[in-house]
Amino acid sequence: MTFTFPALTPCWQALLEARLLRDLDVQLAQLLARWDADESVQLAVALTSQELGRGHVCFDLSTWPERLAQWQAQLSQAALSWPETTVAALDAKLQQSPLVRVITDPSDAEEQGQPLTLFAGRLYLSRYFRFEQQVACWLQQASLPADNAVNATELAAQLRQLFTPQPETDWQAVAVATACEGRFTLISGGPGTGKTTTVTKLLALLVAQSEQSLLIRLAAPTGKAAARLTESIAKAKTELATQVNADWLEGIPTQASTLHRLLGVIPGQPEFRHHAQNPLPLDVLVVDEASMIDLPMMARLLAALPPQARLILLGDKDQLASVEAGAVLGDICRFVAQGISQPQAECLQQRTGYDLQPYVQVTGHPLCDRLCLLRKSWRFAADSGIGKLAEAVNNGDEKTAQAVWTRDYRDIRLHSDEQRLEMAVKLAAEGYHAYLALLDKPMSAEGAVALLQAFNQIRLLCALHDGPWGINGMNQAIGQRLQTQGRLQMTADWFAGRPVMITENDYGLGLYNGDIGIAASDGERLRVWFVLPDGKAHGFLPSRLPAHDTAWAMTVHKSQGSEFTHTLLLLPPETNPLLTRELLYTGITRAREQLDLFATPEVLALMVRKQTERYSGLVTMLETMRALHDAE
């Protein structure tokens, strides 16, 4: 039987025409109206769908009056006929709706088939409630005290071998000591705080403590992030080689994979080969760039872990959240502000010698003891404008941020005049001359590594995709300038020197979303060269590549997990929902040595003030689970 959508009422038609709702949102509401025709419920369904498209896991009912008021202001009075506008009225109707399952105990896993779930004033599509519930249940269990016995004296001696005692708290040592005694550890820190150095020392210590060989796996959300993790771990192992027993390092893998490859993709299916009934064969899993992991992926990853496996998440809690729904790392890190428990402080002091009493809070959730924040950046010097600006933006300190971008720092420049768009194109094209100069002879695998390294010295980052201020406009403008300068011969879609970014995973070729390649001739044919996780460059015929885009310019979102010696950050002149503190911080911190900002002071100030908010119930779930556990 086919379902015919009824004609839209003037209210729904007006919302669609004004683009206040998507076709998908309205069609879902109409479809479910077969079981509940109440217009308040239908609008709540549409808003739940819309929020999911915006990266939120659920629709927060407390925003209901505000959303209706916003619509009222944007639409003509004649088109509108609103239902009840109070939160209490909407909540009551949802609780009585046959479409909605009402949850009070978030650990209740029983399913009754309703497409929507209502929990703690939040309305979910039930599938996403289950994802969030799975993550919360896993974290709740993993936050309980571990039953693995650790020799405190031996651990303290091993920590002294890895870390030279410091007059101030060495947060890397504290993080390693924390992770040695728990199933789950999250280590968060900004660029240059030493996350991969810390985790390499941690893995060496776990190998040293284990009476049998450990199966350790390294992973990251994208191929690019996996390659960087591979490189960073290899470098950290080399630096540790003169400091610790060689046996400690032999058990640390040298190769990271993407999460998709780790879990085992099944072509054409949303599920993976590894899941609760077929768990991953590993003892320890390290996942880098965890801020990029969306809620469904995190739920599937946790479900696939063996019961006794350790999980170590690395990431920067202040970076942009995942492109898809959820901000799991950010939600978990909200517990950092609660400090740690008294027993944990005493345990860590015994292991490391550092006094952590100032960070003790009596009422914190047990998960707090599994979270570690690296607080010192080793990348930026004391006189670095990039470091100072990143800190000010991260803190929402508009006054300090403004003082930084208006001062004459050696490593940061602000371009705010009317010619800033042209200047961005000019500087980007000049920066790309270095890699183009390497195309004067047939490309080999060794030469391609140098080619890609030269290309990665500079990158233009944009907030938008479309328009002259977006990556599409800038890629076209940069290409045209390079051709005018005689640096390129763009006579067809493919030409020597064209940089591309993969936008679709191809597991057969080993190319993943976010991978960067450059077209160059091997003397006979044009190939697109990529450095794969094995550290070697491989050339592919252009016709074999999965979906891709030209990549002289890339979005800030796509730049996560990358660093460039010189970063150009281009921001549009008009306000846009994408312009947030997290996007600005992420763009700034992609720069290692030089940052050029192309923006007006007004837009920059707006971004410093505007913090991203993603609606979810993960924190509430964990707090509710803890309260119910304590009450038993």
Residue 93 assigned to a binding site: no
The ranges of the chain annotated as CATH 3.40.50.300 are 149-375, 385-599
The ranges of the chain annotated as CATH 1.10.10.1020 are 10-139
pLDDT at residue 273 greater than cutoff 60: yes
Q: Beta strand 548-550 with 499-502: parallel, antiparallel or unpaired?
A: antiparallel
In the block, residue with structure tokens 């809620």: 295
Residue 193 assigned to a binding site: yes
Q: How far is CA 269 from CA 219, 276, 297, in A?
A: 21, 17, 14
Predicted confidence at residue 87, as pLDDT, reads 92
Q: What contacts 291, CB < 8 A, 6 or more positions away?
A: 315, 316, 317, 319, 320, 321, 322, 327, 329, 330, 560
Q: For residue 1, name the pLDDT band (cuts at 50, 70, 90).
A: very low
Per residue, what are the HEC states of 57-77? Answer: CCEEHHHHHHHHHHHHHHCCH
Predicted confidence at residue 512, as pLDDT, reads 80
Residue 191 assigned to a binding site: yes
Residue 192 assigned to a binding site: yes
- Greatest mean pLDDT among 2-6, 267-271, 325-329 lies in 325-329
The model's pLDDT over 186-242, given as tens digits with 9 standing for 90+, comes to 999 888 888 989 999 999 899 888 878 889 999 998 877 888 888 888 888 888 888
Superfamily for the 149-375 domain: P-loop containing nucleotide triphosphate hydrolases (3.40.50.300)
Work out the average pLDDT over 304-328: 87
Contact 295, 615 (CB under 8 A): no
Q: How far is CA 110 from CA 93, 121, 385, 519, in A?
A: 22, 20, 54, 53
Contact 550, 499 (CB under 8 A): yes
The total number of residues written for the chain in this structure: 632
Helix axes 10-17, 23-32, angle to 10 degrees: 160
Architecture of domain 385-599: 3-Layer(aba) Sandwich (3.40)
Residue 98 assigned to a binding site: no
Contact 358, 168 (CB under 8 A): no
Residue 620 assigned to a binding site: no
Give the domain 10-139 fold: Arc Repressor Mutant, subunit A (1.10.10)
Contact 336, 373 (CB under 8 A): yes
Q: For residue 140, name the pLDDT band (cuts at 50, 70, 90).
A: very high
pTM above 0.95, yes or no: no
Helices (H), 486-543: none
Residue 376 assigned to a binding site: no
Q: How far is CA 295 from CA 186, 329, 345, in A?
A: 16, 10, 31
Residue 196 assigned to a binding site: yes
